Structure 1
Amino acid sequence: MSAFRNASGDHVAPPVFKDERKRTFLNPEGADKPLQSPLTSDVLEGARSYRLARIREQLEQHDCAAILLYDPVNIRYALDSVNMSIWTMHNAARYALIFADGPAVLFEFHGAEHVNDGLSLVDEIRAARTWLYLVAGEHLEDRVGTWADEIADLIAERGRNRRLAVDKLEHLGVAALEKRGIEIVEGQELTEHARCIKSADEIELMRWTIRVCEAGMARMYEVSEPGRTEREIWAELHFENARSGGEWLETKLLTAGTRTNPWYRECSDARVELGDMISFDTDMIGPYGYCADLSRSWTCGHVEMTAKQRELYAVAREQIEHNTALLRPGLSFEEFNELSWRIPEKYLPYRYSVAAHGTGMADEWPWVHLHPDFEHNHGGAFQENMVVNVESLIAEAGSESIKLETQVLITATGPERLDRFPWEEV
């Protein structure tokens, strides 16, 4: 039975690709089968050890006893512990306390301790003390106090001092810890700088996530037929990611035709017409928790682009290629901005405000604004073994939008693109 359906939901034979290069990104064993990771357990264990060491290096540099992590992406980075990531992004129900000179303590959601079986870097598992109002109600103040007592006692027992880095915490928790003599240090600075430099093992994990993403993109390409809805096309990426062990998609950025401009509309039940430009941004958190953040644009039915579509696409390619070529270790963000591609005036009102950003387990530090917006940028420089995404969004009054993005490893000798999914020929 075919793995593809038409707009009515009937199983159909896959259409012939206009660009046969893209077909090669499907599973060579058949589109109805998930990809199988070729990576060994040594790669994952190497990445895990490296990441925890990076967190502890930051604790040393900032003279902190420990770091308290609530962000599930940071917990995944430090300990590779995963449990209800999306739910715990908006419900602070599990957390980790990692000491510079001592153990890594995971406070797990009640009854879910077993999801951490086999994690070598977790030294101790305790029951999380949840003080969300959702859970605590009128007992909120008492629950916060009990939680803070436990954290403060651990710091006193195992910490080198009373300086505690924290990535994200509600104000009641900050006040309760400070009342107990704990000095709170901004923890996002530590986690972002730890995460921004990738090990060789991390790069291998990222390559695999990108491979899965590109298989999903090939499925999207193959079903980009007249009559499909934007959501139906977008669902192909979800499907490939989920069945290959991936996590979630951060956004729903796929639109077609006039809905591509202005950007940031989410995919809908609008049906795509022959020749419409389909533009998307994957923002995919895939296997092993790593991000594949790729953007492409192509026409519905894979028909030849109009003159205006070709013009916009060529300009977007020019921006991507110019800015990618600049990337090298030691290049400051200010220098990058001075050398970066200049967006023509007629496209300025429709621009994407980011020229490049770091990528790892999600979008990460650094965040480098496009030149008209660079006055708002932070300082810093690109470094070897950063993974950086280079962005382009080109549109003008009354046109469709072209969205392109590539994922780049900064090596000692310059940029290496990690994604291989072909651009369109114009």
Structure 2
Amino acid sequence: MALFDWHAERSAYTPLDIEAPATGASPIDLVAVRRYRLGRVREQMRRLGIGALILSDPVNIRYATGARNMQVFSARNAPARYCLVTERRVILFEFTGCEHLARGLETIDEIRPAHTASFVAAGPLIAERERSWAREMAALIVAEVGPGVPVGMERMNAGSALALAAEGFPLVDAQQPLELARCIKSAEEVKCAEASLRATEAGVAALREAIHPGITENALWSVLHQAIIERDGDYCETRLLSSGERTNPWFQETGNKPLEANELVALDTDVVGCHGYYSDFSRTFHVGPARPSAEQRELYRLAHEQVHHNMAIIAPGLSFREYAERAWDIPPRFHANRYYLSAHGVGMTGEYPYLYHRADFPDAGYDGVIQPGMTLCVESYIGAEDGREGVKLEEQLLVTETGTRLLSRFPFEEALMSP
């Protein structure tokens, strides 16, 4: 069994590449996870006729290789680290002084220091740095694949792209092959997602226990952060927790507002958790101590109904258009404040596909087919345009050969569901 560097991809500090995510759970073969993902990337490259991919999004680098390093920093400071993927080899260009972090990963053939082409690194010499970067990358691509092959790029300076194009390479967007690769999960990947969900659910349980009048939204949200980091998750991608009037409309992130008695508290986890897999479910709670009001219970009932109706129609072979046509009808009172999607793909972050509401499909929607191996999040937000509060609910599920399997397990609120 190969040794494993926990800096690359871990949820517990054991030296083996096969790891049990929780007591009684099946072990996760992380070598198989990484090999499957890199194979998916290369499969899409072949299908789309792309000779080389230059990845700079840290999530996509991790997907293709398993290498993890300063994820948020790397996303903000691209291209602080990047990766070249060809049919023959994978070369990781790691942030200066960090080359040791990914050693031992079977998906990476060579590690080199990154030639950072950014203004903060090069100052007014940025154009020359970009040309130097392009010359180095062009020589490497020619040696690996040959001259003039289509090259996929993402999230890098416009100057870098222009300089590489000037070296004689037609450039394409790397989003399509990466999103199509990521949308179908292996059985081992699903285990990673479930490990991430179990850790996040423990964090949400701790958050729920901490709810009381007087605690601020920020303090309450920090309970989830602490629990995620303690369980070796990565970070929360958003701060989507709000209370009372701040629950309507949705997307108001946490603030210093204290919770008040008997109001609603809504959250969307958006956790990049164990093994880098997204744990994405939403719940709404009641502060108490009194019973939830009739209006609060009605909002919750409708959101619960929307989520479960739409989960029930998801099946392999269903087209995105058919899904939109069969999805739950949003009552007119709540249509203006509807969530912008009906459902979406999820993996190491939110991803392809987006499934739109029927009313939005003509302008925003695109067609495709729901396939086995997709993991999807089914969304609901119910809040009237003239209402005080709103309810956010969401579930995460796996599409199987015969139907679906629910992955998220956090319970719904009995007090808010009772008549």
Runs ≥4 in structure 1, deviation > 3 angstroms? Answer: 35-42
Give 1:71 shift: 0.5
2:373 is equivalent to residue 385 of structure 1: yes
Of 210, 216, 220, 1:233 maps to 220
Name the CA distance, whole Å, in 1 between partners of 2:172 and 2:235: 30
Write the letter of the residue equivalent to 2:299. Answer: L
1:414 counterpart residue number: 403
Give 1:162 shift: 1.4
Give 1:64 shift: 1.5
Deviations 1:224-253 (A, max 9, x none): 111111111111110111011111111101
Do the aligned residues in 1 keep the contact of 2:53 with 2:174 (CA within 8 Å)?
A: yes
Of 45, 53, 56, 1:70 maps to 56
Question: How many residues in Structure 1 have an aligned counterpart in Structure 2?
Answer: 391
2:360 is equivalent to residue 373 of structure 1: yes
1:44 counterpart residue number: 30
Give 1:117 shift: 2.4
Do the aligned residues in 2 keep the contact of 1:387 with 1:408 (CA within 8 Å)?
A: yes
Do the aligned residues in 2 keep the contact of 1:329 with 1:410 (CA within 8 Å)?
A: yes
Name the CA distance, whole Å, in 1 between partners of 2:113 and 2:229: 29
Do the aligned residues in 1 keep the contact of 2:28 with 2:192 (CA within 8 Å)?
A: no
2:67 is equivalent to residue 81 of structure 1: yes
What TM-score, normalized to structure 2?
A: 0.91
Give 1:413 shift: 1.3
What TM-score, normalized to structure 1?
A: 0.89
Name the CA distance, whole Å, in 1 between partners of 2:44 and 2:21: 35
2:263 counterpart residue number: 276
Map 1:100-179; keep pairs closer than 5 Å: 100=87, 102-159=88-145, 162-179=149-166
Task: Indicate how the Cα distance of structure 1 residues 195 and 324 shifts in structure 2: closer, same or farther if over 3 A, else same.
Answer: same
Q: CA RMSD in A?
A: 1.5
Name the CA distance, whole Å, in 1 between partners of 2:157 and 2:354: 25
Task: Indicate how the Cα distance of structure 1 residues 421 and 313 shifts in structure 2: closer, same or farther if over 3 A, else same.
Answer: same
Deviations 1:72-114 (A, max 9, x none): 00000000111111111121110000002x1100001111101
Name the CA distance, whole Å, in 2 between partners of 1:98 and 1:351: 40
Give 1:36 shift: 6.8
Do the aligned residues in 2 keep the contact of 1:43 with 1:204 (CA within 8 Å)?
A: no
Do the aligned residues in 2 keep the contact of 1:385 with 1:410 (CA within 8 Å)?
A: yes
Name the CA distance, whole Å, in 2 between partners of 1:395 and 1:207: 30
Can you give the 5+ residue segments of structure 2 that lack an aligned partner in the other structure?
Answer: 1-19
1:404 counterpart residue number: 393
Of 272, 280, 303, 1:316 maps to 303
Give 1:399 shift: 2.6
Write the letter of the residue equivalent to 1:373. Answer: D
Deviations 1:299-332 (A, max 9, x none): 0136421100011100001100000001111110
Can you give the 5+ residue segments of structure 1 that lack an aligned partner in the other structure?
Answer: 1-34
Give 1:42 shift: 5.3
Name the CA distance, whole Å, in 2 between partners of 1:315 and 1:47: 38
Do the aligned residues in 2 keep the contact of 1:260 with 1:401 (CA within 8 Å)?
A: yes
Write the letter of the residue equivalent to 2:112. Answer: R
Name the CA distance, whole Å, in 2 between partners of 1:379 and 1:109: 39
Task: Indicate how the Cα distance of structure 1 residues 41 and 299 shifts in structure 2: closer, same or farther if over 3 A, else same.
Answer: closer
Deviations 1:178-231 (A, max 9, x none): 111011122100000000000000000000000001000100110111111111
Q: Greater CA deviation, 368-377 or 346-355?
A: 368-377
Give 1:37 shift: 4.3
Write the letter of the residue equivalent to 1:389. Answer: C
Task: Indicate how the Cα distance of structure 1 residues 256 and 105 shifts in structure 2: closer, same or farther if over 3 A, else same.
Answer: same
SS in 1 for 2:377: strand
Give 1:118 shift: 2.5
Of 175, 188, 213, 1:188 maps to 175
